[in-house]
Amino acid sequence: MIYKRTEEAERILKEVYQCIDDNGGIAKKEQLAALGIDYRRVLDFVENNDVIRIKNGYYTYGIERFSEEALVSKLFPDGLLCMESALYAYGYISRKPVGFHIAIDKNTSKSRFKLDYPKVIPYYTEPEVLTIGATTISYEGCDFQIYDKDRLICDCLKYESKMNREDFKEALQSYIKDEDKDISALMEYARERKVVKRVQSLIGVWL
């Protein structure tokens, strides 16, 4: 049976598409509701593949328009690239990680990360340390928050056990060779992240 929309459904779908376009390609359930669009109608559009539900409460159309990076930057504007994802963005490691490592306020809803695509690995972080060393970067044509290199290396030293051994070694060597590193900032972050001895033993001998 061929699915055929009524004129009323066509009109509402155009409103949904316009809302999606007006919000950078992804519309939230609340934004659609604010236009008076019945949520049951949105579910009908999803059922018939006119609208794509990226995750609960987030909708788009033509998902092929988006790269993984674009989706992550839109879905998690309050998150920061961290660990392997940040290392790769800086060119510190050559192996692209599977999924996106995102530092996020530990008080954020865990349901935000229940999505099949793209793969996102959250690092729930205390609010008081979440933004220490935060900066921004343009990566794959998208704007991301990210930790600066000196804070990033301290985090790698702190969570070495969670990293692939070769990635860890490559990251340290890349940092040591980086002419833009800031040793005074490194030591300040090391005190904050409680990795001073590791910085001294693994990096200090090369400086």
**Can you give the residue range of the structural domain that contains 118?**
68-206
88 and 190 together in one domain: yes
List the alpha helices (DSSP H) in 27-162.
Answer: 29-34, 39-47, 68-75, 83-89, 127-130, 149-158
Q: Structure tokens of 56?
A: 């609960």
* Phi, psi dihedrals of residue 78, rounded to the nearest 5°: -90, 0
| Predicted model pTM | 0.80
Helix, strand or coil for residue 114? coil
Mean predicted confidence (pLDDT) in 128-157: 96
**Structure-token match 């788009």, residue found:** 60
Is 1 within the bounds of a domain?
no
Contact 23, 31 (CB under 8 A): yes
| Domain contains 98 | yes
Rounded Cα distance, 31 and 131, in Å = 28
How many whole angstroms separate alpha carbon 26 and alpha carbon 53?
10
> What is the rounded average pLDDT for all residues in the chain?
91
Our count of domains for the chain comes to 2
Task: Tell me: do 123 and 172 sit in the same domain.
Answer: yes
State the Cα–Cα distance between residues 81 and 73, nearest whole angstrom.
Answer: 10
Same domain, 109 and 202: yes
Please state, in angstroms and rounded to a whole number, the distance separating the CA atoms of residues 171 and 169: 5
- pLDDT-derived band of residue 204, with 50, 70 and 90 as boundaries? confident
158, part of any domain: yes
pLDDT band at 58 (very low <50, low <70, confident <90, very high): confident
pLDDT of residue 207: 67
Q: What percent of the chain has pLDDT over 70?
A: 97
Does some domain include residue 41?
yes
In a domain, 2, yes or no: no
Is there a single domain that holds both residue 11 and residue 98? no
Q: How confident is the model at residue 4, as a pLDDT?
A: 66
Asked if the model's pLDDT at residue 122 lies above 90, the reply is yes
Find out whether 72 and 121 touch, Cβ atoms under 8 Å.
Answer: no
Q: How confident is the model at residue 2 (pLDDT cuts 50, 70, 90)?
A: very low
* Mean per-residue pLDDT, 79-92: 97
**Residues 78-92, mean pLDDT to the nearest whole number:** 97
Strands 142-147 and 80-81: parallel
Tell whether 51 and 32 lie within a shared domain: yes
Q: Cα 96 to the chain's mean position, in Å?
A: 14
Residue 101: inside a domain: yes
